[in-house]
Amino acid sequence: MSSLPQSYLVNPDRLRSVFEAQRQAFAEHAPLPYARRMKALDNLLAAVLKYEQTFIDALQSDFGRRSAHETRLLEIFPVIDEIRHTRRRLRRWMRPRAASVNWQFRPSRAQIVYQPLGVVGVIGTWNYPILLTLSPLVNALAAGNHVMIKSSEIAPATAAAITRMIGECFSENYAAVVTGDQHVAAAFAGLPFDHLIFTGSGRVGKMVMKAAAENLTSVTLELGGKSPALVHESFSMADAADRICSAKLWNAGQTCVAPDYALVPIHLLDEFVHHGLAVISKRFPTLLSNPNYTNMISEAAWLRMQSLLDDAQKKGAQIVQVNQADEKLTAGSRVFPPTLVLRVEASMRLMQEEIFGPILPVISYSSLEQAVAFINAGPRPLALYYFDHRRSRINEVLARTTSGGVTVNDCIFHLPQHNLPFGGIGPSGMGAYRGFDGFETFSNKKGVLLQSHWVGAFCDRLMKPPYSDRTNWLIGALLRRGSQRSIEKMSLPESFPR
């Protein structure tokens, strides 16, 4: 593993000094003009392209083995694509947006002005450290903010690479990376940022939110949870098994929006399992030295997977692992085999915890109502996947379930859509980002009313002390009638000027 530059193994005093330098720089230069924001995005785009191989090598080091194809496809390309999307639309996003005014105030005008918040904190995570660190950075820079990043110490080689890249792109008082252990992370979360975004577990998310509350810092939390994949009996079991199992095994299941468990019709359970085992065997004929199959991030993560299976087996589950070459897979290798779990009970740990690994519980259901009730009985998930071609049933499932996001007839692909917000709800998170939603998250939506001379004069005369009978008439008219036309039809009191 690569070590981090000593200057970035920071203490709280250094954190505070970087923060104060950014706050001062923001005060001196805000609001950053369009040209400056575009220059920042151009620099970042060029740097990510330049660091492509460096990032691949760093993630290989951190994971022991990380599929280079998945790094390029699931991390580097989405960041580059998001930068390009943002560059094409930033000028339009920055313009004030006209808003309608209440009829009582016409012909006054209203608009929404997007202004940067100030200094934004980004706490990244280890499972997709490029995407889930740089994507919020893109949104925050586009919105005109200065940014401090806390990279995950669990992926130190990648953190070191991100630190070097950001240092080459930006001055420290504009964008900076700090790295350290959980004590540094706690001090980072306690800084009085103008906004803080965290990606990680719910347990740590609670601590981040508590620390941010001390400064009344607004937060975006991207957490996780048990995202279900529900298959209707009319859908092809072969296609559903392929798409669910393939998505489950990207990054060896270490994906916050991976399908956590599958719900399939009871009479089609065997068919789904058959196709699932077939597609896994086809895609991963070997495991131990297969460059396309990613390791668990640590031995501890491997041992946690095994403990989940041990608990399930003790409680009556059937464990089906795919290891065609019959390789010896130990905690030291950090290679955990793809696993399907049948005869699942709610009391099992793998149904109580987010799995975050290559284990897929497959649960049977008797009716769609039963399946939806099962999903709704648990915490609201970050994602939901439903497989069906009938629009009426799709709409029904969408209406009766609540989740951060949804992909219909596939898994995960709602996440990279530029025009869809990405975020959770309840235990799976709060707030959203990506595309315009990201620009909006890192902006202050300032409402502005441009008062009309005539409306202003009318308000001065009737809506301020000393009040009169005419004021009472106006209040009564507003309370009783719902439109201007209705009020115009009302007879005016004798004393009211005509």
The set of catalytic residues is 222, 256
Which residues are CB-neighbours of 483 under 8 A, at least 6 positions away? Answer: 103
What residue type is assigned to position 265 of the chain?
P
Q: Which residue has the tokens 């779990």?
A: 341
What residue type is assigned to position 393 of the chain?
R
Q: Quick one: tokens of 183?
A: 């004590």
Burial 115-154 (b: 16+ CB within 10 A, else e): ebbbbbbbbbbbbbbbbbbbbbbbbbbbbbbbbbbbbbbb
d(CA 1, CA 58) in angstroms, rounded, equals: 8
Check: CB of residue 386 under 8 Å from CB of residue 230: yes
d(CA 222, CA 298) in angstroms, rounded, equals: 22
Which residues are CB-neighbours of 384 under 8 A, at least 6 positions away? Answer: 227, 228, 230, 375, 401, 403, 405, 406
- Positive or negative, the CA dihedral 233, 235, 238, 241 is negative
- For 171, which DSSP code? -
d(CA 109, CA 355) in angstroms, rounded, equals: 52
Check: CB of residue 119 under 8 Å from CB of residue 147: yes
CB atoms under 10 Å from CB of 42, counted, come to: 13
Which residues are CB-neighbours of 370 under 8 A, at least 6 positions away? Answer: none
Question: What is the Cα Rg of the chain in Å?
Answer: 27
d(CA 174, CA 192) in angstroms, rounded, equals: 16
Which residues are CB-neighbours of 477 under 8 A, at least 6 positions away? Answer: 487, 490
Task: Work out the angle between the directed axes of helices 52-63 and 34-50 (0-180°, nearest 10).
Answer: 60
